[in-house]
Structure 1
Amino acid sequence: MAAPNVHDAWLEVPGGQVFVRQWNIGQQNKTPIVLLHDSLGSVELWRGFPAALAQATGRNVWAYDRLGFGRSSPRTEPPSLDFILEEARLYFPAIAEGLELNEYILFGHSVGGAMALCIAAHQPAQCRAVITEAAQAFVEERTLQGIRAAQQSFQDPTQFARLARWHGEKARWVLEAWTGVWLEPAFGGWTLEPYLNRVHCPVLALHGDRDEYGSVAFPERIVHGVAGPARMEVLPDCGHVPHREKEALVLGLVEDFLRNIS
């Protein structure tokens, strides 16, 4: 299959503009895939994965920078403790409308996976399937330990410069938005539990067996909690970024999962 054509655009959402990119292989009769990035992520940080995903699945792929990230409009206020739910209720519907997506498949990495499940719970008629990758389902001590370690590492100017490469002047906000919310004691009781039983579409939960930000209790909670058909795959010798560490395996699992979904 030929390499996809890449198209960039900006969409208006409450509070500013978000940057979106499409990997278009000219396939209009298959439901497209929308990627939701992690807490430090951006469109550019998906690197070559979206193009590979489009070719492997025969589907057009979209990705976007959440408000405050990457090339989207900056934010000054810290995110609320309900930021995951807000993405599902406030921002994503505006993005789907702007892209004229009546139906979609969601692929969410880390907190993007939690957002994908919340979107599926709130937009059941539009969401055809969800793939979560290293998604958190509640706040686990391993998650907090990983965030504290990352927070410490970003005190190194070289490490912080790597983050600024993707987010520019927004890098400090991005880092503090992540660590500030997750390490806030009031966030400790957050869980996907109220939303999982409202997810009726097929779900594939991917998780690395060496994920430094969460145990396999996360995908277990997801697959046992959703109302629709669900499948868990624990990837061997893999950390928190399976689509980078085990790209071929992830592409194969996703292609197989979506084979019977139009």
Structure 2
Amino acid sequence: MTDLNTPTIRTRESWVEHPQGRIHARSWAPSNMRSGVAPIVLFHDSLGCVELWRDFPADLSAATGRRVVAYDRLGFGKSDPRSARPPLDFIADEAETYFPAVREQLGIGPFIAFGHSVGGAMAIHCAAEFAADCKAPITESAQVFPEELTLRSIAEAREQFRDEAQIARLAKYHGGKAAWVLDAWTENWLDPGFASWSLDTVLPRVTCPVLAIHGDEDEYGSTCHAEIIATLSKGRSQVEILPDTRHVPHRERPAVVLELMSRFAGSLD
């Protein structure tokens, strides 16, 4: 039986033109979308892309009654390839160089930024860079500095990806860019020049509300990251530590994450 209360979700594919290449984006909008509410923009993780969000964006759109937008960072998913590895300041660079084009060409005014893993750090940067328009950043499994646990797990993942079958699985989503995507993740994070990176000077520029979600068994970062986000940001903060949860809460605990995000987003209106 069809649930008459379940909204229809309309999807749209878009391309953002940028001097360095075309960026692929997809949006989801519910049939019951409320007028005047800020859309939620998704920032994917280091190996992620639009496709790897799977059903989450549509479910988030239905749960919140908002437009949800996700895009493949340049070099990832269906976006154009990049030749060189991203610079070591790639997290700030995403907010300063690429996201402005995404906002402008997709008609995004005020927004909520949701980022998973390194995407969470990018969401924080976007909240600081566009303080007048960002209603809130929501982070999930974000890192705010290169913790030893993070670096150890990345080094272990790099060894696992020596298996060609692992690269083949990555190529399913990134095509011929798979090796570049892996290199962009592992070699930047493990580069000695990246050791001094942190969000310590960025978080105090975030004056809007913040929601930090983290699993208590996250293999890529301890719960201290969520606590630092809440402590250093200047707006109202909410920390949610999910028990028995690893690095991808929106896949492991989708109902919980959707409820947290829906309630938090509703408090911003």
- Residue in structure 2 matching 1:180, options 179, 183, 187: 187
- Pairwise CA distance, 1:261: 1.7
Secondary structure of 2:26's aligned partner? strand
Do the aligned partners of 1:31 and 1:59 also contact (CA within 8 Å) in 2?
A: yes
Percent of pairs with identical residues = 53
Q: Secondary structure at the match of 1:11?
A: strand
| Distance (whole Å) between structure 2 residues aligned to residue 42 and residue 5 of structure 1 | 19
Q: Which residue of 2 aligns with 1:93?
A: 100
State whether residues 105 and 130 of structure 1, in contact with CA within 8 Å, keep that contact through their aligned partners in structure 2.
Answer: yes
Output aligned runs, 1:87-166, within 5 Å. 87-166=94-173
Give the counterpart of 1:236 among 227, 243, 252. 243
Q: CA RMSD in A?
A: 0.8
Measured in 1, the distance between the counterparts of 2:78 and 2:164 equals 22
User: Where does structure 2 lack aligned partners over 5 or more consecutive residues?
Assistant: 1-5
TM-score, normalised to structure 1, is: 0.98
AA aligned to 1:113 is G
Q: Deviations over 1:22-43 (max 9, x none)?
A: 0011423211100000000000
Which of 15, 19, 34 does residue 24 from structure 2 map onto?
A: 19
CA contact (8 A) 1:3 1:51 kept: no
User: AA paired with 2:41?
Assistant: V
Amino acid at match of 1:163: L
- Structure 2 SS opposite 1:7: strand
Match for 1:190: what amino acid? Answer: W
SS in 2 for 1:102: coil
Give the AA of the match of 1:5: R
- Tell me by how many angstroms 1:260 deviates: 2.1
1:189 maps to which residue? 196
Shift of 1:13: 1.9
> CA-to-partner distance for each residue in 1:240-261, whole Å, 9 max, x for gaps?
0000011000001111111222
* Equivalent pair of 1:163/1:171 in contact (CA under 8 Å): yes
CA contact (8 A) 1:25 1:55 kept: yes
Q: What residue is the counterpart of 2:65 in the other structure?
A: 58
Give 2:219's aligned residue: 212
Structure-2 separation of matches of 1:208 and 1:173: 28
For residue 158 of structure 1, report the CA deviation from its aligned partner: 1.3
1:36 pairs with 37, 43, 64, which one?
A: 43
For 1:102 and 1:32, locate their aligned partners in 2 and report how far apart those are by CA, in whole Å: 9
Match of 2:3 in 1: none
Deviates more, 1:73-82 or 1:23-32: 23-32
* Distance in 1 (alpha carbons) for counterparts of 2:15 and 2:182: 23
Does residue 169 of the first structure (1) align with residue 169 of the second (2)? Answer: no
1:251 to 241, 258, 264: 258
Separation in 1, partners of 2:70, 2:202: 23
Residues 129-158 of structure 1 deviation map (CA, whole Å, 9 limit, x = unaligned): 111000000010000011011111111111
Q: Which stretches in structure 1 are left out of the alignment for 5+ residues?
A: none
**In structure 2, C-alpha distance between the alignment counterparts of 1:3 and 1:240, rounded to whole Å:** 30
Indicate the SS of the match to 1:206. Answer: strand
* Offset from partner CA, 1:69-117 (integer Å, 9 cap, x none): 0000000001101000000111101110111111110100000000000
**Aligned residue pair count:** 262
Q: How far apart, in 2, do the equivalents of 1:227 and 1:2 lie?
A: 36
* Shift, 1:3, TM fit: 2.9
Q: Conserved in 2, the CA contact under 8 Å of 1:14 and 1:91? A: no
Give the AA of the match of 2:114. Answer: F
Mapped partners of 2:152, 2:204: distance in 1: 29
Deviation at 1:9, TM superposition (A): 1.0
